[in-house]
Amino acid sequence: MARLNMVDAIDQALLQAMERDPKMVIMGEDVGRDGGVFRVTDGLVQRFGEERVIDTPLAESGIVGMAIGMAIAGYHPVAEIQFSGFVYPAYDQLVCHAARMRNRSRGEFTVPLVVRMPYGGGIRALEHHSESMEAVFAHVPGLKVAIPADPYEAKGLLAAALADPDPVVFFEPARVYRAIKTEVPEEPYSIPLGKARIVREGSHLTLIAWGAQVRTVKDAAQELEAENVAQAEVIDVRTLSPFDFETVIASVSKTGRAIIVHEAPKTCGFGAEISAEIMERAVLHLQAPVVRITGFDTIPPLAKLEDYYQPDVARVVDAAKVLLEF
């Protein structure tokens, strides 16, 4: 089986979906001849032509708004936003139209649209290139939000998103794009939206993360094991909306302790939602308070200060030790 990085895994998922579905089109800034600034759509315009891999003018709202119309008229657009920090002009189209067209028309008109975008920090980038705004979209009824943690996950989750009848915002952790390779089957497969993944079983505490932070909590779990401190269970949430609370609640009911790790600012981050779910459904199982390890309530700092902001293994391990002795 081939070992691929996330860029190539996504490229392959797109290529296979485009081959199966003649109504699927890719659109965005520099996605055609240039293959995307991260090369995620590399080779697709050569394979499918400019009618199906569309270089658009530099206009995020225009891209998503036009894609909504294409979806309403029977096509399956996959729109790329070059960096998620630039999605805000398209936010109105996503929230006010993509997310609502089904409801507004009582199911007569629907928007099977995927909006992909790189997100998250750790790539030493310019301002606006390191944000994590997944909670902003997870809060919107009518949208789905998926975030893969590694190449295998990316191919399967994207396949599910591309087949979904509703709009999906697909966040691709830019830090993971070329950082790790996993085995990725050549044949198409799908990982259903709304199902979390137990990455590692454990009995003493539950570490919950998504995207690039899954690797942080996996490493933290290994360190806790190596130090003979605890066996940590690791959950990759995979989709924030719909959120699989059953898997999380089952795990926390077993372990009695939970740490949620995300890069986004702490206040109103999705960790708050997970923490609240645990309180509503599993409070009597808890041995210790639910803890969040997150970015700060600041603008993500530029390269020289970025490492202070990002959650890391040491922060997770230290928090775990406090919880275990609570």
CB-based contacts of 130, cutoff 8 Å, min separation 6 = 85, 120, 121, 122, 123, 300, 306
Span 178-217, contacts to another protein by CB under 8 A: 194
184 φ, ψ to 5°?
A: -130, 115
Query: Per rule CB under 8 A, is residue 43 in the interface with another protein?
Result: no
Decide if residue 171 touches another protein (CB under 8 A): no
Query: Distance from CA of residue 114 to its chain's centroid?
Result: 13
Q: Does 144 bind another protein (CB under 8 A)?
A: yes
CB of residue 317 to another protein, shortest distance in Å? 33
110 interacts with another protein by CB under 8 A? yes
What's the min distance (Å) between Cβ of 10 and another protein? Answer: 23
69 versus 289: smaller Cβ distance to another protein: 69
One of 19, 92, 127, 307 touching another protein (CB under 8 A): 92
d(CA 211, CA 234): 13
**Sole window of 34-42, 105-113, 175-183, 295-303 interacting with another protein (rule: CB under 8 A):** 105-113
User: Phi and psi (nearest 5°) for 278?
Assistant: -65, -40
Q: Is 256 left (phi over 0), alpha (psi -120 to 50) or beta?
A: left
Sign of the CA dihedral 158, 159, 162, 164?
negative
Q: Which of 9, 40, 70, 135 binds another protein (CB under 8 A)?
A: 70
Nearer to another protein, 115 or 317 (CB): 115
> Which residue, 255, 259, 208, 202, is CA-closest to 233?
202
> Shortest approach of another protein to residue 65 CB, angstroms?
3
- Of 30, 89, 223, 306, which one interacts with another protein (CB under 8 A)? 89
Catalytic one of 76, 97, 128, 129: 129
Residue 262 is among the residues annotated as catalytic for this protein: no
Give me the 239-278 binding string for another protein, x by CB under 8 A, dash otherwise.
--xxxxxx--------------------------------
168-173 and 144-146 as β-strands: parallel, antiparallel, unpaired?
parallel
Count CB neighbours of 299 within 10 A. 13
- The residues assigned a catalytic role are 129
